[in-house]
Structure formats: C-alpha cells, structure tokens
Copies of this chain bind each other. A is one copy, B any other.
Amino acid sequence: MNKPATIPATPVNLRTACIQCNLRELCLPMGLDANEFEEIDGLIAARRRIKRQQHLYHAGDPFEAIYAIRIGFFKTDILTEDGRDQVTGFQMAGEILGLDGISTDRHVCNAVALEDSDVCLIPFDRLEDISRRVEPLQRQFNRFMSREIVREQSIMMLLGSMRAEERLAAFLLNLSQRMQLRGYSASEFNLRMTREEIGSYLGLKLETVSRAFSKFQEEQMLTVHQKHIQILDPDALRSLVGRAHL
C-alpha cells in the first residue's frame, strides 16, 4: 500500500494537462485556441490528490498557488479566534480555489475536501507570468476573479434579505444548475455536505435547514433521503426565491 508522501507523483503528462482535460471549457483556459494552449503549457505544475476531510490548505498558510479542481468537491471556511466559524463556499470540478490568498500572500480560509478529490496546482507567479504574454488567459483570469466577487455578492443578498426557506431554495437551485453544467442531472443528486455545513453557509442553524427540507418535502417540491435530493418542482423553488417577502 503506497502512502502518498507529499505531492504524489502523477503519471499524467502535465505538459498537455489542459488540452486533454475535459473540463477545459469550464475552467481557466476557457475559450483559448490551439496556439494559446501551446503557450499555457506548464501552467499546471502538479496534480494533488486530497482525501475526504483533508485540507488542501489552511487559513494562514503562505499563498503560493491557486488550485483548479479536476475531480471532487470542496468547502472553504473561516474560523475566527472567538470561535465563530462559517462556510464561505462550496466548490466543484472546474472551479478555482485560493483566489482570496492573493491580497495578503496568505490563505484567508481553509479548503477542505468533502470527497476524495484531485486538483491542479497552478503556481501563482507562473500564472501571472504567462498572463502577461497570453492575453486571453489574463482576460479569463480577471473574469474568474470578478465572477467570485459577483458570487459573493449574491450570497450577501441571500444572507441579508432572504428567509430560511428562500435561502435553502436558492442554494439548491444553484447546486442544481452547477451539476447540470457539468453534465449531471439537474433534478437528482447527492449532497456532499452535512446539514450543519449547509446551515453555516446559509447563516442558519442545522435544525432550521432540516425543517426547511421537511417542509419542501411535505409540499412535494422535492424528496430527501439522507443526502440524496430529488427536485420534483423546480419552479416552486424558483418562485420561493423570486418572491419578495411582504
């Protein structure tokens, strides 16, 4: 049995990592042409395998690289000295981890795998370097940063102006849409996180999340069994989110 020492050797040819990756149209190299793919050769320094419940990085770690998720599912969270703890996001294949570390040269949050995962390690100075030569990569990277800003704004909206059931509905619809983008069913999937983690992300207690699930099930909007979700009436969920509460 081979225990992975540090960064496990990968048989993958990293020189063609992105070209061969079937996530390339979701991920950083989105929209690059053949020539440009040549140029971003060497963007990926390594692959790293992270087992369930392991950290990819910790808050406070020096920031050296960002990570593109190839396979798996992560959460990011922050734990403050006074014991406050909050999940700041859930990330899936094709999404980028670590952008918050750029500002202070240290990671601000923890990144934890919620299932066995596989990430591409992109040294940040290398990314900056190549970005200066490959305009579309620069453009794409800026878009990713901005997209993260927009994503967080929508969480702010959610936390600031929605009630429990609206929050959960918005959360499920968002998950559903991201699953679909990756070729999975939009209506049926398994949650990778606990009720407590959902609650933490949505600014709710786990009991409230659980009650909301039960309510949705009573009202035939979906079925829940453990982590398995089947959305029966997405429009009902949408109308929940889209209705200003009086």
Taking Cβ atoms with an 8 Å cutoff, the residues of A that contact B are 78, 80-86, 88, 99-104, 108-109, 128, 131-133, 135, 138-139, 142-150, 152-153, 155-157, 159-162, 200-203, 242-244
Contact = CB atoms under 8 A, between A and B. Distances in A.
Contacts of A243: 82
B82 A244 contact: yes
A59 to B, nearest CB: 11
Taken together, the copies of this chain in the complex come to: 2
Q: Interface majority SS on A: helix, strand, loop or mixed?
A: helix
A103 B149 contact: yes
Contacts of A102: 142-143, 145-146
B103 A143 contact: yes
B104 A150 contact: yes
A181 to B, nearest CB: 15
Contacts of A160: 86, 159, 200-203
